């Protein structure tokens, strides 16, 4: 099998399985307890927090563990605003965790406005700036677009917000950027930053939220006071420690993986243009994107149908965010300016550090074969 849907999820590192067994079966103690084995578990959580903080470029005290990237996004939007009314600014292609949470915030009385994106899913900076004034209480712009890989200049956007909006908190969904592009949350200047474990070979069900020093948030989950009294609940020691391991391992190879995957992007995009010409639209600007995602659309061949054809010959790809609803399947193509048959023809290819040129060449050959077969049933 050739697996090319790593933006949806990744295979766990075998070492993470060993870590989970250690802290779920052998050393299963509650880190809030007072006896010696529990104190050892608490130290393990502290070590993982330090690993994650190093990968993000912040202090360990600024990390709060969550059950997922989606929870971290919800935490940021729900607890981030300093005022009970005002404007929330998000982008048109935000992950459903941000987009739907913003809609819920609108039901509570906030004004939610959507910053437009270009055809590659990148925020149009000139239009974004026009939305900024003292009424803005929170901004949430994803770092790397999970649909197209578009890379937003978060440092620049955040600086504009800080300059024009005195009460605004800036959040970025960094799930597709973390351990894939080199950055520091301190350098970006963000107040809140969400990450997820299962995108970097850690388990599903673990994420984290970076909270800038001095930012006081309301608790997201009340209870026994774990995670700085912001997100109570017994710590998931096993998955936290596995997440820390994966973050340390992946962050060590960011530059090499990025450069290698950029070459794969070029190979794939060049092959698509050569094989299909005007019959395909490339939705990823590889000059200004993360390295691990390529989105494209066929003219007249539904992406879902091509996906199942590829699956039948052992190649796994995606059509977009695995977390998206049917409404999101309409929202994203509209935000990207896709019209006509291109709207239903989206495929998303996403690499990991083990993806090679042979995998891309096999994909291109399969796409040509599939297009020849499925073209007989082309929509007009």
Q: How confident is the model at residue 330 (pLDDT cuts 50, 70, 90)?
A: confident
- The 10 Å Cβ neighbour count of residue 274 is 9
Question: Of 47, 20, 75, 57, whose CA–CA distance to 207 is shortest?
Answer: 75
pLDDT in tens, 107-158: 999 999 999 999 999 999 999 999 999 999 999 999 999 999 999 999 999 9
Q: What is the pLDDT of residue 340?
A: 85
State the Cα–Cα distance between residues 146 and 183, nearest whole angstrom: 17
pLDDT tops 70 at residue 102: yes
The mean pLDDT value for 220-249 works out to: 97
Q: Is the per-residue pLDDT at 322 higher than 80?
A: no
Residue 105: per-residue pLDDT: 96
Among 81-85, 320-324, 371-375, the range of highest mean pLDDT: 81-85
Question: Which residue intervals of the chain are DSSP H helices?
Answer: 14-21, 36-56, 69-79, 96-107, 125-130, 154-164, 185-188, 226-230, 237-251, 254-276, 303-312, 326-335, 357-374
**What local confidence, expressed as pLDDT, does residue 97 receive?**
97
**Residue 321: pLDDT above 70?**
no
Beta bridge partners of 281: 297
Q: Phi/psi class of residue 58: alpha, beta or left (left: φ > 0; alpha: ψ in -120 to 50)? A: beta
**CB-CB contact of 34 with 134 (8 Å):** no
| pTM, 2 dp | 0.95
Residue 380: pLDDT above 70?
no
Q: Check residue 197 and give its pLDDT.
A: 98
The mean pLDDT of the chain is: 95
- Paired strand residues for 35: none
Q: What is the pLDDT of residue 210?
A: 98
**CB-CB contact of 53 with 209 (8 Å):** no
pLDDT at 202 over 90: yes
Which of 374, 380, 377 has its CA nearest to residue 312?
374
| Contact (Cβ atoms closer than 8 angstroms) between residue 202 and residue 179 | no
* Catalytic positions: 323
Write down the pLDDT at residue 323.
55
CA 60 to chain centre: 21
- 374 pLDDT above the threshold of 70: yes
Report pLDDT digits (tens) over 332-368: 999 999 988 899 999 999 999 999 999 999 999 999 9
Per-residue pLDDT of 33-51, as tens digits, reads 999 999 999 999 999 999 9
Decide which of 325 and 314 is more confident. 314
> What's residue 325's pLDDT?
43
Count of residues in the chain: 380
- Indicate the range of 46-50, 97-101, 164-168 predicted with least confidence: 164-168
Is the pLDDT reported for residue 215 higher than 70?
yes
Of 321, 331, 320, 336, nearest to 103 (Cα)?
331
């Amino acid at each position: 099998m050739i697996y090319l849907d790593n933006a949806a999820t990744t295979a766990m590192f075998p070492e993470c399985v060993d870590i989970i067994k250690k802290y779920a079966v052998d050393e299963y103690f509650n880190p809030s307890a007072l006896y010696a084995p529990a104190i050892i578990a608490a130290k393990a959580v502290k070590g993982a927090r330090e690993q994650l903080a190093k990968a993000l470029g912040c202090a360990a005290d600024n990390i709060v563990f969550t059950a997922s990237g989606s929870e971290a996004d919800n935490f940021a939007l729900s607890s981030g605003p300093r005022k009970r009314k005002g404007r929330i600014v998000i982008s048109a292609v935000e992950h459903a965790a941000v987009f739907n949470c913003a809609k819920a915030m609108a039901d509570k009385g906030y004004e939610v406005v959507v910053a437009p994106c270009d055809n590659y899913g990148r925020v149009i900076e000139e239009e974004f700036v026009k939305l900024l004034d003292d009424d803005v209480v929170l901004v949430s712009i994803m770092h790397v677009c999970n649909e197209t890989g578009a890379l937003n200049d978060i440092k620049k956007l955040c600086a504009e917000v800080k300059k024009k909006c005195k009460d605004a908190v800036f959040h970025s969904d960094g799930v597709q950027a973390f351990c894939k592009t080199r950055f520091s949350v301190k350098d970006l200047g963000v107040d809140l930053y969400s990450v997820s474990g299962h995108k970097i070979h850690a388990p599903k069900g673990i994420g984290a939220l970076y909270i800038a020093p001095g930012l006081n948030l309301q608790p997201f989950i009340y209870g026994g006071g774990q995670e700085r009294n912001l997100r109570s609940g017994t710590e998931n020691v096993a998955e936290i420690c596995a997440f820390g391991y994966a973050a340390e391992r992946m962050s060590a190879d960011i530059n090499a993986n990025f450069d290698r995957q950029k070459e794969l992007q070029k190979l794939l995009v060049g092959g698509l243009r050569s094989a299909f010409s005007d019959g395909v639209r490339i939705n990823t600007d590889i000059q200004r994107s993360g390295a691990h995602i390529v989105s494209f659309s066929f003219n007249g061949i539904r992406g879902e149908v091509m996906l199942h054809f590829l699956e039948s010959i052992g190649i796994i790809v995606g059509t977009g965010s695995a977390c998206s609803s049917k409404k999101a399947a309409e929202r994203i193509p509209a935000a990207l300016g896709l019209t006509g048959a291109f709207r239903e023809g989206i495929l998303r290819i996403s690499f990991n550090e083990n993806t090679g040129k042979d995998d891309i060449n096999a994909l291109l050959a399969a796409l040509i074969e599939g297009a020849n077969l499925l073209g007989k049933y082309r929509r007009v």
